[in-house]
Amino acid sequence: MIKTATVGLLLNMLMNPVIPALAEAGKTPATTESGTTTNATATKATNAVKIPSVDTLGLKLKSAVLIEPTTGEVLLSLNADLPLPPASMTKMMTEYLVADAVKNGQLSWDQKVTIQENAAKQIGSRIFLAEGDEHTVEELYIAMAVGSANDATVALAELVSGSELEFVKLMNQTAQKMGMKTAHFINSTGLDRADMPKKFQPAEDRETVMSAMDAAILAKYIVTEHPDFTRFTTIQSYKFRERDKAPMINYNWMLEANKNIANFKAYAYPGLDGLKTGHTSSAGNCFTGTAVRDGMRLISVVMGANSEAHRFTETKKVLDYGFNNFEIKQVVAPKTVIAGNETVPVLKGKNKEVSVVTDEAVSFIVPKGTTSPQIKTTVEINDPATLVAPIAQSAKVGKVTYSYQVEGMSDVQQKTVNLITVEEAEKAGWFKLFLRAIGEFFGDLFTGIKNLF
Active-site residue identified among 63, 77, 91, 317: 91
Residue 203 to residue 186: CA distance in whole angstroms: 10
Instruction: Dump the DSSP string for 347-401.
Output: BTBSSSEEEEEESS-EEEEEETT-SB---EEEEEEPPGGG-BS-B-TT-EEEEEE
- Please count the residues of the chain: 453
Amino acid, res. 239 = K
User: Do 105 and 183 meet the contact criterion of CB atoms below 8 Å apart?
Assistant: no
User: Do 136 and 109 meet the contact criterion of CB atoms below 8 Å apart?
Assistant: yes
Active-site residue identified among 63, 125, 148, 161: 148
Say whether 150 sits in a helix, a strand or coil: helix
User: Do 77 and 65 meet the contact criterion of CB atoms below 8 Å apart?
Assistant: yes
Is 88 one of the annotated active-site residues of the chain? yes
End-to-end CA distance of the chain: 27
Alpha helix segments (H runs only) across 162-267: 164-178, 212-225, 230-233
Q: Give CA separation, 414 vs 176, 324, 401, 446, 448, in Å.
A: 22, 23, 7, 47, 45
Amino acid, res. 36 = T
Residue 153 to residue 98: CA distance in whole angstroms: 10
Q: What is the dihedral of CA 359, 365, 366, 368, to 10 degrees?
A: 120
Is 91 one of the annotated active-site residues of the chain? yes
Longest Cα separation, the chain: 106
Say whether 314 sits in a helix, a strand or coil: helix
Say whether 406 sits in a helix, a strand or coil: coil
User: Do 272 and 291 meet the contact criterion of CB atoms below 8 Å apart?
Assistant: yes
Active-site residue identified among 88, 125, 161, 211: 88
Residues with catalytic function = 88, 91, 148
